Structure 1
Amino acid sequence: MSQEPICPCEELIHPRPISNPPGRDTLLYRVGDFATFREALLQARPGEQELAGWRPSTRGDLALQLLEWWAYLADILTFYNERIAQDAYLRTAASPGTVERLVRVLGYRPRPGLGATGVLAALINSRLPLTLPQGLAIQSKPGPGKKPEIFELDEDTRLEPSGSLAAEVVAPTNLAGRTDVLLRGSLTTVREGEQLLLVSKDWAKASDKGRGYAVVTVQAVSREKDSRGRSVTRITFDDDIPGTIRPSNSEPAPATNYRLLRASQTAQRFPYGSVNPGNSTVHLESIFRSARSGEQLLLKSTSGAFTLSLVTNYAEQVWYANDANPTIPPTEPAAVIPIPHTVLTFSPAAAAATVQVDFGWQEVGELIDIPPASVLASGVTLALDAPLPLPQGATSRLVLLEDSKGQGTQGRATPFGSTTANQVHVSELDSQTELIPPLRLLHNLLPVSRGATVAREVLGSGDSSRANQSFVLQKSPLTYLREGAGYRSTLRIWVDSIEWKEVPSFYGQAPDAHIFVTREDEEQKTQVLFGDGVQGARLPTGLGNVVASYRHGSGASAPEAGTLSVLLQSHPGLQSVRNPVPVTGGADPDPAAKLRQLAPRSVLTFGRAISAGDYEALALESPSVNRARAYWTFDTEQQRPLIKLYVGDTPEAKTSAELAIRSASDPQRRVEVLPAQEKPVQLKLEVLKDPRFLAEEVEKGIRRALMDPETGLFGVKTARIGTTVYNSQIYEACLRVPGTLAVHLLLFMHWDVIETWPNHSPGEGGFYVLEDLKLTLKEAATHA
């Protein structure tokens, strides 16, 4: 009834041999499909007699149609059998909700979505302190394609008047190497080309008087406004200020420790005869009685070099012109001309003979520090326009710093000297946040978390005749908030006005225990379950006597800085709220890939850590940890084993992992938790593309195969700490993309250095992050 295939490749094998090597993400279970079943049904059975003469035709053959119906049925049955088989195993499960149901059998509860938390700043227009109530709602301004998110105040918070202080960065200006200085006020007396003296205020007390001063020439004068709108004058010089401006090799002093001076008097050297015997004495051209002892002298030598010295002795001398010995009074005074003049002795000595002396110094203006163009530091000193209010008994307080662009960071401000001082030092800042002055310090901080409150929702009526009653919350998702290494629910349940307690499971609960259990379904709707009278109490009979209060809203999406500012409730005296620091900590529910990894490990650990894999599993259960890798090593100092646990790649991952393993690890076994080291990678690929596929789609597919956070070769959920990456893996990832025919060029670069070997190891505690992918697509030639 059937014919031999024209081409061997057309041969249909039935039943298909089933082979499932280990490590595959799919399971083969079908013995055939419609084509193979139809072919098998058309084959004559051995010894067939009744249908030996039957030749099926394509026209009106009901027998052929009947066989094809059976082939369709077999195709459908084997398809669903294979799906059922795949969904029976955790590694291969693919149907929605299947992974969640499988891990529930293990007693593992997937982590739900978490709400973000953060700190806002409040500005008030009241002269008296006021208190904002817990639950005050603030909504975000959503960007394009986003939905508004609601946050609420976590606790009653007392606010001080205003809440905002103008802040100016106090930073010593290193004058050495600069070409300009800044003076307070608007000055009109400085002229271009004028020569000035820049000198340290304590220069006279310095042991090395060859340092701490500089002679500068004015090139330009400009009048400006500082960050607070005050007038300042910038003086630019024609050359860099030399390094000798520093009194010593220590850190630079503030600009306020220097004086910018101009000389009110200038004297030339005495022009007659040879009356300058050394480099520590000078005869002036006339009488200058203002140059007394202690006066600063700026001495100009014959070579043009300047020396700053102090007058140690003042004297007056008469020089007699037209006399044989001009320094001795003549016997006939009428025959000579007496010329009185000043003689100054000074220290330190000049390097060469002096030809000019400047003295009688006057202040040009008050020097001030040049504010930095940006601030990027873990600590900063600020001058405020008013004292920072402190809580009673406190010496510091948490504050937010906001810059001119509305961005900011959180820190701890400590006033100098006393609580009434206007200068504070702000520490614990995020060193990665760059602030652009002018700055303002915000001290009325509001701790907030995501979630809108649903108050007194009636879940339903209790029925003591029913075991394990359950109800579903009307709003979803239920808000969970981070707490230590784990999280806590915001759900509270009252039955007949008595509050019942949420527990992880019914196991071991007393028959009369007022407890309940929650779980989330595939749509993140929360189901509330009560006991059966054996493990946990049944609900008492009543009408609408089960009442819940909770908050809803969660996820990794969080408002950007400056967008969480819409007050949903007015409050007397509250002017506005600001969030220069974005809220953080939100997380989406655990994806199926993470459940496949963590659920089996939870069965092995049972809340305790023994092997290195146990430490990894416990760390990965923490919401902040995306990667973890444990290494056994030996502590040479303490002469005992040591476990190094590397975690990444969020800032709070280290602290979160330490909390997660604290209660589960052996106190006699030393564990060191370290942040994993990110190793940036650049890839250059040249790919041959099938001309039938769009270049844009092929490029998107390759980038997804390499960079997708969930499934990409270098993704957060895929690239493990310390795992070697092979070129063959990169080739395989690219070639899996439809439309990719070949990879002709692959360059793996780390820190711009091309690695030529076929395998690449990030080292202990390191992991690769694909920062840049330079992809070139070339189209394969087509043949007619």
Structure 2
Amino acid sequence: MSDSGLSNCGCCAGLDAETPARIDNPPGQSAIAYRVGVHASFKESFLARLSSGDLPALSSLTTRRDGDFTLALGDALATSLDVLTFYQERYANEHYLRTATERRSILEMARLVGYELAPGVAASTRLAFSLQEVPGNPALAAGPVVIPIGTRVQSVPGPGEQAQTFETVGEVEAHVEWNAIPVQSSEAWHPKAGDKALWLAGLSTGLHVGDAILIVGQDRVEQPASGQWELRLLTSVEEDRERQRTRVGWDVGLRDLSAAMKSAPVGVSVYALRQRAALFGHNAPEPKLMFNANNPPPSALTDIEIKEANYGDFFYPEFQWETLHWKDFTIRNNHIDLDVAYPKVTPGSWLALISNDTRSSHGSGFPGDIELYRASIVSFPSRSDFGLAGKITRIVPDKAPKPAAFPLKETLVLAHSELLPVAPSPLLYPLFGSELSLDHPVTGIGAGRALAVSGKRARIRLRKGERERDLALTREATVKIAEGDSLRLAAAPEEHSAGAWRALTPEEFGQRVAQADPKKLRFRLLVPDGREGFVEAPAAAFELAPAEKTDDDVQEIAVVGVLADALPDRGRTSLPLSMPLEHCYDRDTARVNANVTSATHGETVSEVLGSGDARVANAHFALRQAPLTYLRSTGSATGRKSTLELRVNDLLWTEVPSLYGRGPAERVYEIAIDDEARATLRFGDGVEAARLPSGDHNIRAAYRKGVGLAGNLPAGRLTTLLSRPLGVTGVTNPGAASGGKDPEREENARKNAPLSVKTLERVVSIRDYEDFARGYADIVKAHALWIPGGPARGVFLTVAAEGGKPLKADSVCDLQAALHRYGDPLMPIQVVNYREVAFQLRMTIKARPDADRKLVMAEVESRLAAYFGFEARSFGQSVSVDEVLAMAQAVMGVEAAQVIELHRRDKTSPKFVARLYAELPVASVAGSPQGAELLTLDGASLIVEFMP
């Protein structure tokens, strides 16, 4: 092992010792540097030590050839040390949350602080069941059916998907008449100021344009002096053959009648006045045509009155014959005499006197004064008067007539009143908002009951003669709306009030459209290809249009709120809703299914785990099926609970988070989920928690398997009944199944594990509210704000669910309940979803000549999408052009980059803004703030191009 051929020049003395290397770990690194050397440095250090004067015994080892045994041994040692230090560094990294890469490492470290990685949560939805119907023979239809807990329903999988099983978690009594309840599409007609039309039942009304109708209130029936009546001249008569009804209209709106007339359930009657007549004497001849100086009236006649005779001398030569009038030529003796006999004029019927004085009008469509009378007595005597004779109709009215107001010759009489059946008036507005009125009375629907609402979207149409409108789809893309175009409503119309947009109620919207209100509204509309846009226009520009047969149905779940008193129209049931409807429905197509119950993802499994042995401490058993289903729960700080039910010797044992501190007689167990989603049950040792009692196959478990995103199914996918209760024919999920969450990923566990020791299952400070919410099931981002005063006083929480989806109403209620449970139960807590704001980006890059241009562009787009995606951004985080350039230039193969456009989509800002800001809620005593904004890249509008 010596070489006499080596010189003493020092060139073979070896290198300096390089190990152990100095370890330096600056803060903020994603990995820990923990290696004291690598193979090369270890070998160099070995060679250096061979030449060291500190080790004279090795001075004779002068060769440096790799084939030498000593050097080969040193090389092997360097290799071993290289492997050892590599794993030592990995071992060190696995002991810190930030640097650990193995799920098992994060899981075990989290357990040190009492945190378990979330095992995933099952999706939940509501199922609407249909019962068997027998058209034409309701007696043979299915009676009330109890749909039990555990009823299984399976999904129809899409391409590349697997069928998912859901089970009901609530019992419901279903009724066949609840399969498809029509919503209120009409209302009983009560006259109100401004009305210009009403609907009559049937098509055979016999009415035509120019006919008269009479509207009489009950108060006028009982009190002749009452003014609760209206007479109108018809200007339109339209038949609706599909619904067997007739619409009659007039030009002048009704007066504002008394509240009693508008609210009395049976206080209004409508009549057609079929007969146009005249008063007796209307065709009496003029006296001056019958008598003159050569033929004076005989003195015996008493039906001629001489007026303005000079000196009162009847035969005075200067008498003016043109001033002769019939004596008592007026309505007299409180009788109303009609010109001929009208046999259809009967006692109790109505008649109207119209003065026909063209100098005045009261808006009825008829000239002059109008007075309404009711016939108390009707007779048909003969009368001879005013040079006339014949059978007449004599009416004794219910009140004294006014002779001076109604001259015999000019007055028009409308008589022969015929009662018309008034049909309910169609509701001229879509179905949306926080109230759901059914078409008929329905009993048994109480507060908290879920309803499945389905139907086609309501449509509005741009009126004829209106100018084109621009429907804004994005910041720059618009679609023209021309007159006659019909578009679907995507949401409730809004008006600008008090500096903000406020959703109108259905009644307000209907009134604005009916009255052609010029005030500007904002409409969210869907174009035929399904894209959504906004347009601002006055209500007068649009009119309601019927839904089209080709329109797709939409559906959702609505929950009945606190029931109020019945509305004045008692012919139907009106239900307040806990949350406004998501869609705007066409009332003629909307239906409600009340046979609804909750269901969650997962399939029930029952198995015998094994036999207990009291001699064994801390016994453990594993479930054979995985993954164990977990459901949302307000009873735990994590917001979830397992579906496991464990019985030992038929006695129920209780799951606890930890056996620590439990008494020796407590029948409890804990569940541990490994990194392969297998659940293991651990029992006590007799000191902390009870041991399992001895027995043969005495440990039985019932649980459900299945969790995760696979259960988040779209609406209408759960349609296969695996267990079919008697009488049930169909099922569907009107709303999407949501809330399913995969087992917690390592990235989230790094952030969430410390939260458990921050709050320690108690919520005190404003930061506690934020940390607690972020660690709660379904929630991945949260921001808390304290509002010290005003209507929104309390904690204001902005949250975001997995994947950037909004948190469902049920989850919001669960979170609020959990915060009250672990915090101040009297603290006002408002939870809102975040506001997603997208920004558009257009940039150019220059690739290296030797780079693959396609791969470079794909990598740039991928990195930008990830860096500015939902997972990587925080509420209120801004976006700068520097960040964009840094991400693009970090891609290998990019030589240069330039940002051309950078702007928010929702603001009319310049196309290039160096820094984009996202808003955070600000406390105000004036009202509630808006949720926090999250600024993310709009991937659809991202444009990356190569420089020329």
Give TM class, smaller chain.
0.7 to 0.9
Contact kept? 1:151, 1:450, Cα under 8 Å? yes
Q: What corresponds to 2:111 in structure 1?
A: 104
Q: What corresponds to 1:91 in structure 2?
A: 98
Q: Is 2:559 the counterpart of 1:549? A: no
The 5 A counterparts of 1:749-760 are 749-750=905-906, 752=908, 758=915, 759-760=917-918
- Say if 1:199 and 1:625 are closer, same or farther in 2 by CA, change over 3 A: farther
- Say if 1:757 and 1:181 are closer, same or farther in 2 by CA, change over 3 A: farther
Q: What corresponds to 2:12 in structure 1?
A: none
Q: What corresponds to 2:864 in structure 1?
A: 702
- Residue from 27, 31, 45 that aligns with 1:22: 27
Matched residue type, 1:311: E
Q: Is 2:527 the counterpart of 1:517? A: no
Count residues in correspondence. 712
Structure holding more strand per residue: 1
In the alignment, structure 1 segments of 5+ residues that lack a partner are 1-12, 225-230, 276-280, 315-328, 714-718
- Say if 1:488 and 1:288 are closer, same or farther in 2 by CA, change over 3 A: farther
The 5 A counterparts of 1:150-229 are 150-154=165-169, 157-160=172-175, 162-164=177-179, 166-169=181-184, 172=187, 182-187=199-204, 189=206, 194-195=209-210, 201-202=216-217, 215-218=233-236, 221-224=239-242
- Say if 1:430 and 1:690 are closer, same or farther in 2 by CA, change over 3 A: farther
- Say if 1:686 and 1:439 are closer, same or farther in 2 by CA, change over 3 A: closer
Matched residues in 2 for 1:266 and 1:482: separation? 74
Q: Secondary structure at the match of 1:98?
A: helix
Q: Secondary structure at the match of 2:713?
A: coil
Q: Secondary structure at the match of 1:501?
A: strand
Matched residues in 2 for 1:705 and 1:254: separation? 65
Q: What corresponds to 2:160 in structure 1?
A: 145
- Say if 1:234 and 1:409 are closer, same or farther in 2 by CA, change over 3 A: farther
Matched residues in 2 for 1:42 and 1:178: separation? 107
- Residue from 492, 502, 505 that aligns with 2:645: 492
Among the aligned pairs, what percent are the same residue? 25
- Say if 1:619 and 1:681 are closer, same or farther in 2 by CA, change over 3 A: closer
- Residue from 311, 332, 339 that aligns with 1:287: 339
Q: What corresponds to 1:763 in structure 2?
A: 921
Q: Which moved more, 1:628-637 or 1:647-656?
A: 628-637
Q: What corresponds to 2:602 in structure 1?
A: 451
1:541 Cα deviation after fit:
4.6
Q: Is 2:416 the counterpart of 1:369? A: no
- Say if 1:628 and 1:770 are closer, same or farther in 2 by CA, change over 3 A: closer
Matched residues in 1 for 2:356 and 2:889: separation? 79
Matched residues in 1 for 2:560 and 2:909: separation? 41
1:137 Cα deviation after fit:
2.0
- Say if 1:178 and 1:733 are closer, same or farther in 2 by CA, change over 3 A: farther
Q: What corresponds to 1:682 in structure 2?
A: 838
- Residue from 814, 817, 820 that aligns with 1:656: 814
Greater C-alpha Rg: 2
Q: Secondary structure at the match of 1:103?
A: helix
Q: Is 2:784 the counterpart of 1:630? A: yes
Encode CA deviations 1:276-296: one digit per residue, 9 max, x unaligned.
Answer: xxxxx99x9993787999634
Contact kept? 2:217, 2:228, Cα under 8 Å? no
- Residue from 717, 724, 733 that aligns with 1:579: 733
Q: Is 2:575 the counterpart of 1:426? A: yes
Q: TM-score, normalised by structure 1?
A: 0.73
Q: What corresponds to 2:244 in structure 1?
A: 232
Q: Which moved more, 1:147-156 or 1:694-703?
A: 694-703
Q: Is 2:679 the counterpart of 1:526? A: yes
Q: Is 2:490 the counterpart of 1:478? A: no
Encode CA deviations 1:625-652: one digit per residue, 9 max, x unaligned.
Answer: 44333345645999xxx86341424234
Q: TM-score, normalised by structure 2?
A: 0.61
Q: What corresponds to 2:514 in structure 1?
A: none
Contact kept? 1:475, 1:552, Cα under 8 Å? yes
Q: What corresponds to 1:604 in structure 2?
A: 758
Matched residues in 2 for 1:310 and 1:119: separation? 61
In the alignment, structure 2 segments of 5+ residues that lack a partner are 1-17, 54-58, 133-140, 287-322, 325-329, 375-384, 456-552, 801-806, 848-852, 923-928
- Residue from 677, 689, 692 that aligns with 1:536: 689
- Say if 1:41 and 1:368 are closer, same or farther in 2 by CA, change over 3 A: farther
1:96 Cα deviation after fit:
2.9
Matched residues in 1 for 2:259 and 2:762: separation? 56
Matched residue type, 2:867: A
Encode CA deviations 1:684-725: one digit per residue, 9 max, x unaligned.
Answer: 2112245513556644543333234xx232xxxxx23x5566
Contact kept? 2:123, 2:739, Cα under 8 Å? yes
Contact kept? 2:261, 2:267, Cα under 8 Å? no
Matched residue type, 1:706: F
Contact kept? 1:625, 1:647, Cα under 8 Å? no
Q: Secondary structure at the match of 1:656?
A: helix
Matched residues in 1 for 2:162 and 2:99: separation? 35
Matched residues in 2 for 1:33 and 1:253: separation? 93
Matched residues in 2 for 1:124 and 1:482: separation? 30
Q: Secondary structure at the match of 1:660?
A: helix
- Say if 1:95 and 1:252 are closer, same or farther in 2 by CA, change over 3 A: farther
Encode CA deviations 1:2-46: one digit per residue, 9 max, x unaligned.
Answer: xxxxxxxxxxx9999865443444444467778988999999998
Pairwise CA RMSD: 5.5
Q: Secondary structure at the match of 2:943?
A: strand
The 5 A counterparts of 1:370-449 are 370-371=426-427, 374-384=430-440, 388-390=442-444, 398=449, 400-404=451-455, 405=553, 407-412=555-560, 423-428=572-577, 430-434=579-583, 435-436=585-586, 437-449=588-600
Matched residues in 2 for 1:198 and 1:33: separation? 104
- Say if 1:362 and 1:527 are closer, same or farther in 2 by CA, change over 3 A: same
Contact kept? 1:609, 1:661, Cα under 8 Å? yes
Q: What corresponds to 1:323 in structure 2?
A: none
- Say if 1:146 and 1:533 are closer, same or farther in 2 by CA, change over 3 A: same
Matched residues in 2 for 1:562 and 1:187: separation? 44
Contact kept? 2:779, 2:799, Cα under 8 Å? yes
Encode CA deviations 1:471-520: one digit per residue, 9 max, x unaligned.
Answer: 22111111222222533222122334443332211111233433221011
- Say if 1:548 and 1:257 are closer, same or farther in 2 by CA, change over 3 A: same
- Say if 1:294 and 1:251 are closer, same or farther in 2 by CA, change over 3 A: closer
- Say if 1:265 and 1:410 are closer, same or farther in 2 by CA, change over 3 A: same
Contact kept? 2:671, 2:681, Cα under 8 Å? yes
Contact kept? 2:196, 2:252, Cα under 8 Å? no
1:597 Cα deviation after fit:
2.4
Q: What corresponds to 2:469 in structure 1?
A: none
Matched residue type, 1:409: I
1:252 Cα deviation after fit:
9.3
Matched residues in 1 for 2:813 and 2:683: separation? 35
Contact kept? 1:171, 1:381, Cα under 8 Å? no
Contact kept? 2:707, 2:740, Cα under 8 Å? yes
Q: What corresponds to 1:325 in structure 2?
A: none
Matched residue type, 1:564: L
Q: Secondary structure at the match of 2:838?
A: strand
